Each structure stands twice: as C-alpha cells, then as structure tokens.
Amino acid sequence: MLFLPSTQRRLRRLALAALCAGLAACNDKSITSYRVPKEPDAAQAPAPDAAAPSGSPAISWTAPSGWQTQPASGMRQGSFLVPGAGGATADMSVVSFPGTGGDDLANINRWRAQVSLPPIAAADLPSQVQNLAAPAGQFVLADFAGTAADKGATRLLGAWLRQPDRVWFFKLMGPADLVESQKEAFTGFLQSVTLAAGGAPVAVNTNDLPQAGPAVQPPFAGPAGAGMTSMPVQAASGASLLWQAPADWQNQPGNAMRKGSYALGGGAEVAITAFPGDVGGVLANVNRWRGQAGLAPVDDAGLAQATSALDSNGMHFTLVDAEGGSNPIVAALLPWNGGTWFFKLTGPVDAVTRAKPAFLSFLGTVHAP
C-alpha cells in the first residue's frame, strides 16, 4: 500500500482546491452587471461653446469669431468650418483617442503624409515640433506645408495634448494662405482649451457595486435646513443655476448627481439634476417620464400636446405634465450652458396636485448666477 488513507484524503482535498481555483479563474469570461455613478468628468463641466456629446470626457474652448461650429460626431469632439476669401474653407477638428495615441513620430508622419510630405526619421523629430504652454497643459505643435490631392497647396497646423488616459488632437487643414491667416486664431484656440479636472468623490449606491460596503453620501453642498426662503441655493460646485425654494420645502441631503432635493410634505419630492449635452433629446426624456408615470409614449406629433413652454428669467423650460397615470410626474427640462437641467416633482397623486402651483412658481425663481 503506497498511500495511507489519510494521505489519499489529503490528496483529494488538494485536487478539490485546485478545481475550485480553476473554476474561479474561468469567471472572467462571464457577463457582469453593476451600477456606477455618472462619470464625474462628463457630468461636471458641460462645454459652453461646443458641448461634447453625452458621456465623452469634458473639454471646452472658445472658438475664434468666424469659425463655424459643425456637429461633432464619432471620434470628433469638435468640428469647425473656417471660411476664407473666395469661398475657400479649411477644416478644424478636435479628436480624442484613449491611451497614448501612438508615438510622436507616428503622429507627425501621419500628418506629413496628408500633405504629401515624405516621412521623417526619429532623429529629425525635435526640429519638426514646437511646444506650447497653455492653461490646459503642454501642447506639441506641428506646421506642415505641402499639397493634397485635388486641392493644391495645402497647409496643416496640428497639435496634441496628452492627458492621463487619452490624447487630444487638434488639426486645422486647408488652403495654404487661409491656414496662414488663421495661425494666430489656432494658437488662441489652444490657449482657450480647458479640460475638466477630476471631481470630488462621487456618492455611489455601493450595494450595487462589486465588493462594496455600505454607502456614504457626501454632505449636500448647499445650505442645509428648511425655511431658507430668501437664500439662493448653490447646489454644487462649478457653474450652477440659482433658485429660491418655498419656505415649507425641506432641504434634503442630496448626492453628487443631484443639484437639489426637497421634501414637500405628503410624500411629494422635488429633485433637480443636470447633465451635459441634450441627454437624448426632449422626446426621449418626455417618454421616459411618461413611462415612469404609467402613461403611453408619444411620438413627435404628440410631443406638442404632452409638453408646454415656460419662459422665465431668460430661461426656456419645456414643461411636462404627466399627471394622468398612477405615479404622477410634473417635470421641466431646461437646456442651459451646454447641458440639460431637470426639475422633477413626484409623489402621491394628491400631494403632487397640491404641490404643483408651488412647483411652477419655484421654476420662476430659477436664474443664472
């Protein structure tokens, strides 16, 4: 007998442990689901001049006068048409790539190829680029004059800016004389670029996060307590709207995504949130609220009946009255400063009906800082 019974038992246990370890290792091929806070970078700084699409990293700039904003799409975070004399136009693009975005030589040679210039060697790189210190960081600048197919003499002004996890490329390309005239505007544009700094810690419902403990919510940024009728509530850091809440609305501790939160009595609640971009557009949001209220969705034709306009303090609200369902919602949507603000009144049917006039009056107090 080679193995004692106890040894066999030990070996079996060892094999079982190895099997468990093997199974654990296979888990990384499975689908997971979890809840995460909205991306702080995307949520905190809507771009004032050319809003980046929803979910993209926050960047903003001030475009020179005369540059015509084009819709950003796909990889382009910003796109401009730069008009010149005689109908000539140049194209300005802002593109973001995750990671390192390739090495400097590859970037330079890619741009050189676009104006039909031969590639350079790594040793020649320092002579082909310049550095530009700007508030957003250190830009690397390149300037190439060549030709492009069917377009004759073409010039390319390019720059890139490296961020922790991505690289931003800025490129102005077009007829040589037009681009020459826009060189100052181009560097001015780069100087105006600001990138959203990382935000404060975000409150998360950690019950939905993998391996998380109980949630901790940061204190509400605005003044706490009820009866602040005459005190404007600064809801969060950064550019924010101001408003005056009625005296009987109780300020609730919010979380990082809520700009304001009030308990109105009888179970009614007002929540104020803000997001960059158009957050899917008016129709999508109206139908989302109607769905939450237990009402059927509307189409473009039905949108006019489902919404009404409310103009106050230079603000243009789209008011949604979804009171017919089991969970009444009175909500307003306000495009402002490149983002969209949501004001939502929810609660039991009678409480919402009672609170609605005060809610509409409250919307009238919302104003820019």
The binder of other proteins chosen from 68, 69, 100, 237 (CB under 8 A): 100
Positions 35 through 74 that interact with other proteins (CB under 8 A)? 35-40, 52-57, 72-74
| 110: nearest Cα among 144, 73, 149 | 144
Token pair belonging to 307: 């919404």
Token pair belonging to 23: 């199974």
Token pair belonging to 196: 């959203």
Nearer to other proteins, 85 or 301 (CB): 301
**147 is an interface residue for other proteins by CB under 8 A:** no
d(CA 60, CA 193): 6
d(CA 269, CA 144): 59
Which residues make Cβ contacts (< 8 Å) with residue 161, sequence separation at least 6?
Answer: 136, 137, 138, 139, 140, 167, 168, 170, 190, 193
Q: Which long-range contacts (CB under 8 A, 24 or more apart) does 313-316 make?
A: 313/364, 313/365, 313/366, 313/367, 313/368, 314/367, 314/368, 315/366, 315/367, 315/368
Nearer to other proteins, 138 or 313 (CB): 138
Q: How far is CA 228 from CA 113, 131, 231, 307, 314, in A?
A: 63, 51, 5, 31, 24
d(CA 274, CA 241): 10
Stretch of 34-42, 121-129, 185-193, 221-229 contacting other proteins, by CB under 8 A: 34-42
Q: How far is the CB of 229 from other proteins (least distance, A)?
A: 26
Q: Convert residues 302-341 into a mask of x (bound to other proteins by CB under 8 A) and - (unbound).
A: ----------------------------------------
CA angle 96–194–56, rounded 5-degree value? 40
Q: Convert residues 230-259 into a mask of x (bound to other proteins by CB under 8 A) and - (unbound).
A: -------------------------x-xx-
Q: How far is the CB of 23 from other proteins (least distance, A)?
A: 10
Question: Within 10 A of 26 (CB to CB), how many other CB atoms are there?
Answer: 8
The binder of other proteins chosen from 15, 16, 153, 215 (CB under 8 A): 215
The residue count for binding other proteins (CB under 8 A) is 81
Nearer to other proteins, 34 or 225 (CB): 34
Q: Convert residues 184-203 into a mask of x (bound to other proteins by CB under 8 A) and - (unbound).
A: -------------xxxxxx-
Positions 264 through 283 that interact with other proteins (CB under 8 A)? 271, 273, 275, 279-280, 283
Determine contact, residues 95/169, Cβ cutoff 8 Å: yes
d(CA 185, CA 182): 5
Q: How far is the CB of 362 from other proteins (least distance, A)?
A: 18
Token pair belonging to 14: 């060892």
**164 is an interface residue for other proteins by CB under 8 A:** yes
Q: How far is the CB of 321 from other proteins (least distance, A)?
A: 17
Stretch of 176-184, 209-217, 224-232, 315-323 contacting other proteins, by CB under 8 A: 209-217
**31 is an interface residue for other proteins by CB under 8 A:** yes
**19 is an interface residue for other proteins by CB under 8 A:** no
Q: How far is the CB of 147 from other proteins (least distance, A)?
A: 16
**348 is an interface residue for other proteins by CB under 8 A:** no
The binder of other proteins chosen from 119, 223, 294, 297 (CB under 8 A): 297
